[in-house]
Amino acid sequence: MYLAKVYITLKPTVNDPQGLTIKGGLGMLGFREVKSVRAGKYMEIQLKGKDLSQAREQVQEMCRQLLANPVIEDYRFEVEEI
């Protein structure tokens, strides 16, 4: 059994309205030192695989086909045996 930790973020050139809203909220709470915020997604996926290599390939395909939009998002992931 494997655990994949997937991190999806907007590409640097894409506007991030959620990040701007969070930055504004932090400023209203007194955290005026915050210069920027970029919001993203984090997922944990448990999966079976015959070995670590196969599990990594499966996660790569999941990201490519469904989890991330390659036009506006970047992704990275880690896979570990559990």
Residue 76 scores a pLDDT above 90:
yes
Identify the CATH number of the domain defined by range 2-81: 3.30.1280.10
What is the model's pLDDT at position 49? 86
Q: How far is CA 74 from the centre of its chain?
A: 8
What is the model's pLDDT at position 28? 98
Give the predicted TM-score (pTM) of the model: 0.87
Q: What element of type H or E holds 21? A: helix 17-28
